[in-house]
Homo-oligomer: A and B are copies of this chain.
Amino acid sequence: MTAVKSPLTEAAQKTTGEALQGALVDLIDLGLLGKQAHWNLTGRNFKVVHEHLDEVVALARQYQDEVAERSVALGVNPDGRARTIADRTTIPQLEAGYLADDKVVAAIADVLAQLIEKFRDRIALTDQPDPVTQDLFIAITAALEKQHWMFQAQV
């Protein structure tokens, strides 16, 4: 079984592939974390935050797919298995049990701020090796920053 032939040079493929794999781990864990909060939420703003979290999950799932398919299109196998996510994620994890709405809002705002920083690094890193992948990272960053503002606005 031969690998997909990459349109990039080996070096460009390596840099870009690592950035994509890092993004994949981030986005899968963002989706899991969003659902965990969606389910265990409590508080006066339950209904609104509950639904807002599903927008974050939808965004995370859409970009997981685009990031992973971009990776394999460059000849780099994406790895989104449970063990990989659990071991490599750097997102601060939520507690088990009920989660108060104001704490969830603050936690999501923090998580998004951390992810934005990492995605901005990936934009810079891929500028030379692959502007096509960079364009995808720009789109993801725009979406994350929009959510970040909305969560921050209600802290």
A residues sitting closer than 8 Å to B (CB atoms) are: 1-5, 7, 28-29, 32-33, 35-36, 39-50, 52, 61, 64-65, 68-74, 77-83, 85-87, 89, 93-94, 96-98, 100, 102, 113, 116-117, 120, 123, 131-132, 134-136, 138-139, 141-142, 145-146, 148-150, 152-155
Contact = CB atoms under 8 A, between A and B. Distances in A.
Q: Which of A50, A138, A148 has the most CB of B within 10 A?
A: A138
Classify the interface of chain A: helix, strand, loop or mixed: helix
Top 10 nearest A-B pairs by Cβ distance? A86-B86, A73-B149, A46-B154, A82-B86, A46-B153, A82-B85, A39-B68, A73-B145, A83-B86, A42-B153
A142 B135 contact: yes
Contacts of A150: 46-47, 50
B81 A32 contact: yes
Contacts of A149: 4, 69, 72-73
A145 B7 contact: yes
